[in-house]
Amino acid sequence: MHIHILGICGTFMGGVAALAREAGHRVTGCDAGVYPPMSEQLRALGIELIEGYGADQLQLKPDVFVVGNVVSRVHLADGTARFPLMEAILDAGLPYTSGPQWLAEHVLADRHVLAVAGTHGKTTTSAMLAWLLDACGLAPGFLVGGVPLNFGVSARLGQQAAGQARPLFVIEADEYDTAFFDKRSKFVHYRPRTAVLNNLEFDHADIFPDLAAIERQFHHLVRTVPQSGRVVVNRDAESLERVLAQGVWSEVAGFGTSAGDFRARGEPHDFEVLRSGQGLGRVRWKLTGTHNQMNALAAIAAAEHVGVAPAQAAQALADFENVRRRMELRGTAGGIAVYDDFAHHPTAIRTTLDGLRRRVGPQARILAVFEPRSNTMKLGTMKARLPWSLEAADLAFCHTLGLDWDAAAALAPLGQRAWAGGDLNTLVAQVAKAARPGDHVVCMSNGSFGGIHAMLLEMLSNR
């Protein structure tokens, strides 16, 4: 089969492309500003990439066009289509489908799918789960919204392990909508037998009016889990309790800090895994933060459903290397450490900084540098929570390019601890001026942040 993917350089669609290529299909694709790292990963797989969405790509004559959710029916001010290829596909009546639908039909069918959903921690928990299953000899396939350092790729098909009724497949289950023609959450296509509900807060203000609307989508996911399946749920989250109250037809395994079957005792980097007060195993690893402790409990509970003993899973996590862009140390210059992190939601920013604070102690300084780049943050829906999210930082720097709301006013409760501005070079200069040996600088964005990490390290080295 020849598939042509629209929006191929996105993490999810790039993963779909890699899986299709590994399965033996011919894969081509297009995107606007074909960009690394996904472009490099795809070219290494022999996938032809085309710049832009020109209608002339119909000449490729694929068996089906696979459409990413970046594609829309939007027309520009001059009346031309932003995605002329999509308009041409519709006019010609050619076959097309969404990425999640193609994945469900051609990869996930007849597999035991372990889906990890939640506002926060989906990528990290998916990578954890894939790693511990692999370390325990189960050779799972996976599609993760990042690059797990243990594997070096974001997706693979995997194999059927001895003793398993079906091949295992771990997937990061996103609640964002599927495509312009399918407004259901992506995860309803995956039909998991093991579903992890990690947490649930309001997000994606561009497509969801309120938290209740997202809870409804999560319950749609719960409805797809079979009676023989398992729903692993964070019992600390009231929103998830409301989801389950709408009905659940599968085994439920809870985890949490104060409730649930699986709990932790000890520090986030070294803790015992408990069930009903009884010790099951111990996790000693490099990760920090209570959020990662909870992610580990979720992964352990999910792995148990496919036969991995919690003690074995806990031991396997000792070698988990995390995911790129999750508190990834990009370098040290002049005694100042510069990290890259994907955090962009206020809760994620807070848990990231809290985890670093626990690791470096109260005396070390933390400089938080962040970019409100997600659709929700650009709308200003959560601007009032920014001071709360930055409490663990000694200084905070906000890049305001593209914002329609006053970031300086939102950060005013932090007083002289906060700086806001729209010019990236000025921002880098301000951070470099404020930083001193022993500091930890955390750059947080769900985008490339204009290459700020390299800029900072260069300026710090030359000052």
Q: What is the pLDDT of residues 76-132, one digit of tens each?
A: 888 899 999 999 999 999 999 999 999 999 999 999 999 999 988 899 999 999 999
d(CA 426, CA 428): 5
Closest CA to 371 of 460, 452, 458: 452
Percent of the chain with pLDDT over 90: 67
Q: What sections of 23-176 are H helices per DSSP?
A: 38-44, 84-92, 99-103, 122-135
Class of 2-98 in CATH = alpha beta
The ranges of the chain annotated as CATH 3.40.50.720 are 2-98
Q: What is the pLDDT of residues 117-140, one digit of tens each?
A: 998 889 999 999 999 999 999 999
Which CATH number is correct for 110-319, 3.40.1190.10, 1.20.140.10, 3.30.70.20, 3.50.50.60? Answer: 3.40.1190.10
On whether 123 is known to bind a ligand per the annotation, the reply is yes
pLDDT mean across residues, the chain: 91
Helices of type H across 305-378: 310-316, 346-360, 375-378
Q: Is 118 annotated as a binding residue?
A: yes
| 347 annotated to bind ligand | no
Strands 230-234 and 194-197: parallel
Instruction: Say if residue 61 carries a ligand binding annotation.
Output: no
- Residue 307 pLDDT greater than 80, yes or no: yes
Q: Above 70 in pLDDT, residue 359?
A: yes
Q: What angle do CA 239, 243, 246 make, to 5 degrees?
A: 140
- Give tens-digit pLDDT for 253-292: 999 987 778 999 999 999 999 998 899 999 999 888 888 9
Both tokens of residue 338? 């510069």
28 in a labelled binding site: no
Q: For residue range 372-392, list pLDDT tens digits in order.
A: 877 777 778 888 889 988 999
15-62 residue pLDDT tens: 999 999 999 999 999 999 776 667 888 888 999 999 999 999 999 999
Provide the CATH number for the domain formed by 328-462 in this structure: 3.90.190.20
Q: Which pLDDT value is given to residue 100? A: 97
d(CA 280, CA 258): 17
323 pLDDT band, cuts 50/70/90, is confident
11 is in an annotated binding site: no
| Band of residue 332 on the pLDDT scale cut at 50, 70, 90 | very high
Q: Is 288 annotated as a binding residue?
A: no
pLDDT of amino acid 36: 67
pLDDT > 70 fraction of the chain, expressed in percent and rounded: 99
- Round to whole Å and give the CA distance between 294 and 276: 16
| Distance spanning both ends of the chain, measured CA to CA | 56
pLDDT band at 365 (very low <50, low <70, confident <90, very high): very high
What residue ranges of the chain are covered by domains with CATH 3.90.190.20?
A: 328-462
Beta strands 278-284 and 270-275, pairing class: antiparallel
Amino acid sitting at position 65: F
The DSSP line for 401-436 is: TT-SS-HHHHTGGGGGGEEEES-HHHHHHHHHHH--
User: What is the rounded distance in angstroms from the CA atom of residue 376 to the CA atom of residue 344?
Assistant: 9
Measured N-to-C along each axis, helices 211-223 and 238-245 cross at an angle, to the nearest 10 degrees, of 50
Q: What's at 351, amino acid-wise?
A: T
Euclidean distance between CA atoms 131 and 138, whole angstroms: 10
CATH 3.40.1190.10 boundaries in the chain: 110-319
Q: What is the pLDDT of residues 220-255, one digit of tens each?
A: 999 999 999 999 999 999 999 999 999 999 999 999
Q: How far apart are CA 454 and CA 452, in angstroms?
A: 6
203-225 pLDDT, tens digit each? 777 778 898 999 999 999 999 99
